[in-house]
Amino acid sequence: MSILAKFSQLQHTYDALSAVKPNPFAVTFDEIISSTEGVIDGRQTILLGTNNYLGLTMDPECIEQSVQALRQQGTGTTGSRVANGSYASHRALEQDLANFFGREHCMVFSTGYQANLGMLSTLVGRGDHLILDADSHASIYDGARLGHAEVIRFRHSDPEDLYKRLRRLKDVPGSKMIVVEGIYSMLGDLAPLREIAAVKREMGAYLMVDEAHSMGVLGERGRGLAEAAGVEADVDFIVGTFSKSLGSVGGFCVADIEGFDILRVACRPYMFTASLPPSIIASTRQALRRLESDKPLRQRLSSNAERLYQGLRQLGLNVGPHASPIVSVALEDQELAVRFWNALLQSGLYLNLALPPATPSNRPLLRASVSAAHSRRQIDRAVELFGEVAVALGVLPATTGSPVAMVA
Amino acid sequence: MTENADNIRADVIAALTKLLPRPVALHGDTHIVQDLGLDSLAIMNFMLEIEDRFDISIPLDRAADIATIDDLVQAVASLVKQEKA
């Protein structure tokens, strides 16, 4: 029997999807025209599934900074920060992020995934407890598995369930750390962070918030949900990524805790991997400056998000509970979702197809992520295409699919 | 509330029966995932319900070792005992 035999069920599912052209999990962009447009199979396509919330991947100043760093410092660092040394810009980015969040300390990781892997596996250890939201991202679950703490889950965004679980642990020794996300990546829903912070205060635990999808999106200064909910003082650790609103790649953790720097020599996913290349650091620093200084960018994002969310909702499609830059439409079954996704792509609209078990509530999702760089026309075109395809596939009755209803 | 293996098993079976589209004879050695065709979300909700029923939290590493109904009964029994200790 082949070593790959254990994947036969998965292979079966994958083969069924591969029969669809193009395969939803193997989309290739032949060309990137702008942060909101690309070419797929020779067709000019609106990109509505890239998490490029501020559209900064094509920001001329970010590119310029990146190019300069590339010419001056080369293509890569060829080693880890602990074994092979940091570049001054690694330190400078950490200082920038600490300043931005108003925190003492920051550690930068080579991806957002690694930031969670590193912090979750290191902050808590044997005899400690991790209490995770049940709908947490894979990187949170994987970080939990890599470490040695006992891991328990509470019902998604349910502060009462969290309270019950902490109560059960009340007299158990060891540190306890709650982990939630600012915006959940599948439905775009927000954690009830104020209530969760209250539970944390009452029961005594550390609180980590993953602001991957909410940094640069929520809060007066764009710091994320903790800022928007007014509970930054209750959040002990913030993790995040550069690969969404900052338009590059990498991850980070900021905190005020005393002694933070010991983590640099305890955290394996930080120590045993190559550090970010200087060109990435340079564009990330510039993107952060832009995020800090250009508030209208965030306002455009939220107005685009609202426009898409309300547009799809008015069509009668089944969207998530909150209007956020992630707007997902739930469909009944996989076959329908794949056809819907494919019809949108053929019409020049790219977004993500998310299938169970990666989705909550076991339903397939068409997941859109909005950018500040989208024009109103692109958003309206997306809503129009959703309406047309929904009617063509019988998801909506013929009368509600008209673009007229959308403009009203 | 005294929880012995028999009434834990009865509760587990009752909770599982509710989830199944049609009645299936459930025994201690029935495999919860393999034999019942439940998806991972249904399994997670079932576990959360069991946790509520017995006022325990089943850590993920323990959950990974649970295959049969009796594995679950044993895990619940030991966690209930711990909780009371």
Which chain B residue has the Cα nearest residue A168?
B56
User: Across the interface, which of B42, B61, B83 has its CB nearest the CB of A151?
Assistant: B61
Nearest CA to CA, how far is A24 from chain B (Å)? 22
Q: Which chain A residues touch B48 with a CB distance below 8 Å?
A: 134, 153, 155, 161
User: Across the interface, which of B41, B55, B56 has its CB nearest the CB of A362?
Assistant: B41
Domains and CATH numbers, chain A: 11-47+295-407 (3.90.1150.10), 58-293 (3.40.640.10)
* Tens of pLDDT, residues A217-230: 999 999 999 999 99
Q: Which residues of A are designated catalytic?
A: 185, 213, 244
Confidence of residue A117 (pLDDT cuts 50, 70, 90): very high
ipTM more than 0.95? Answer: no
User: Across the interface, which of B44, B52, B56 has its CB nearest the CB of A134?
Assistant: B44
DSSP A38-59: EEETTEEEEE-BS--TT-GGG-
Of A148, A152, A149, A151, the C-alpha closest to A165 is A152
Whether pLDDT at A21 is above 80: no
Nearest CA to CA, how far is A160 from chain B (Å)? 12
Cβ <8 Å between B56 and A357: no
Q: Which chain A residues touch B61 with a CB distance below 8 Å?
A: 150-151
* Tens of pLDDT, residues A289-322: 999 999 999 999 999 999 999 999 999 999 998 8
Range of lowest pLDDT (A145-149, A259-263, A404-408, B35-39) = A404-408
Domains and CATH numbers, chain B: 5-84 (1.10.1200.10)
Which whole-number Å values give the CA distances from A22 to A41, A61, A359, A384, in the listed order? Answer: 9, 35, 21, 22
Other beta carbons within 10 angstroms of residue A17's beta carbon come to: 15
Nearest CA to CA, how far is A165 from chain B (Å)? 7
Cα dihedral A358, A359, A364, A368 in deg (nearest 10): -100
Cβ <8 Å between A356 and B41: yes
Q: Which chain A residues touch B42 with a CB distance below 8 Å?
A: 362
Which chain B residue has the Cα nearest residue A160?
B52
Confidence of residue B23 (pLDDT cuts 50, 70, 90): confident
Confidence of residue B20 (pLDDT cuts 50, 70, 90): confident
**Bridge-based pairing state of the strands A349-350 and A237-241:** unpaired
**This prediction's pTM:** 0.94
In the predicted model, what is the mean pLDDT of residues B37-63? 89
Of A256, A185, A257, A177, the C-alpha closest to A215 is A185
* Tens of pLDDT, residues A267-298: 999 999 999 999 999 999 999 999 999 999 99
Q: Which chain A residues touch B58 with a CB distance below 8 Å?
A: 152
B interface toward A at CB cutoff 8 Å?
39-42, 44, 48, 52, 55-61, 83
Cβ <8 Å between B40 and A357: yes
Cα dihedral A140, A146, A147, A148 in deg (nearest 10): 120
